Amino acid sequence: MGVMEVIQMLWSGLALPLMKLIFFVSLGLAFANFIESLNWTHKIASLSKPLIRLGHLSSDTGASFSMAFFSGVSSNSMLAEAFDQKRIDKKELICANLFNSLPTYFLHLPTMFFITAPLIKGAALIYVSITFIAAMLRTFIILVVGHFLLEKKKYESSEVAEEKRLTVREALVKTWQRFRNRLKKIVLFTVPIYTVIFIINKSGGFDVLEDFMATHLSILSWLHPQSLGIIVLHLAAEFTAGLAVAGALLDAGTMSYREIVLALLVGNILSSPVRAVRHQFPYYAGIFSPRIAMELILYNQGFRIGSLVAVSLGYYLFF
């Protein structure tokens, strides 16, 4: 590989994606800080008031939940600010991050549906419905766990919140001060972590892991034999590659809707850990500390996989 090719690879594969990542994380952080400085969190949290009261969650968690329908970065930035300022403890931080899986799901739902529907037709509705039920199940479990694990909160009245509101100018000044401090942390942690992930990816580290998982699929002998091709592509390439194969098999009449859906669900479950480390950890580490980021990802992915396994098992056994 020539010098120019190396430079081009580093620019397109590392520098440009890293700059985009830092930009969007910074933008989300600044937006979250601005909302908090204006003390709008209480108004935003009021949209999810019945849920947060049931789960004994704070207004900060409620605001983060409502914001997650529009921006995952801003939502997590709100949680990081609340945790750093000790307005929520670690137990609530974990619960809040898991609680946000439902709005995060809705945020990606249109993209997922309009990618799956043209390729696997009616099976898309079944697949999307199962993943939606899993997201709802996670939300219900977190509300129950929060109700018994967390202390009941005293919710601040809107009148008190109004008294603390800053002017837009004061809020901008406060936002800039906080943003400068957090930007150093974003660069300090995100750049080296993203670089390490890039090196592991380019050196074939993730390929080895994916090949290992793909070659040890004997436990999936209960699936249709053609399902393994979908699952392997789901692991080794990306979701759309598995979908393309699934669509071709469906059109050829080789596999039924049920077999296609089960193959995609298994591929989704098995590929989750690798996707989390490759894509989620660098941006999480720019918002939270690396240790907290890794803990949140482990809880998040474990909970997500558990819910998908439970719902997929129900579909396999009863439909």
Structure confidence at residue 219 (pLDDT): 67
Q: How many residues does the chain have?
A: 319
Structure confidence at residue 161 (pLDDT): 47
Q: Which residues contact 191 (CB under 8 A, 6 or more apart)?
A: 18, 22
Kindly report, residue by residue over 222-273, the tens digit of the pLDDT.
Answer: 777 778 778 877 776 567 778 888 888 888 888 899 999 999 999 889 888 8
Q: For residue 49, which amino acid is it?
A: K
Structure confidence at residue 165 (pLDDT): 60
| Nearest C-alpha neighbor of 25 from the set 17, 13, 14 | 17
Structure confidence at residue 245 (pLDDT): 82
Structure confidence at residue 160 (pLDDT): 43
Structure confidence at residue 155 (pLDDT): 62
CA 217 to chain centroid, in Å, comes to 26
The two three-digit tokens of residue 135, written as one number:
């997201």
Q: Which residues contact 247 (CB under 8 A, 6 or more apart)?
A: 118, 119, 120, 121
Contact 105, 65 (CB under 8 A): no
Please give the full DSSP string across 168-190, using - where no structure is assigned. HHHHHHHHHHHHHHHHHHHHHHH
The two three-digit tokens of residue 231, written as one number:
């699952």
pLDDT lower than 50: segments of the chain: 158-163
Contact 73, 24 (CB under 8 A): yes
| Nearest C-alpha neighbor of 155 from the set 38, 36, 54 | 54
Structure confidence at residue 297 (pLDDT): 94
Structure confidence at residue 43 (pLDDT): 64
Structure confidence at residue 10 (pLDDT): 84
The two three-digit tokens of residue 73, written as one number:
């970065």
| Nearest C-alpha neighbor of 260 from the set 233, 222, 223 | 223
Say which DSSP state 153 is in: P
Structure confidence at residue 261 (pLDDT): 95
Rounded distance, CA 204 to CA 210, Å? 10
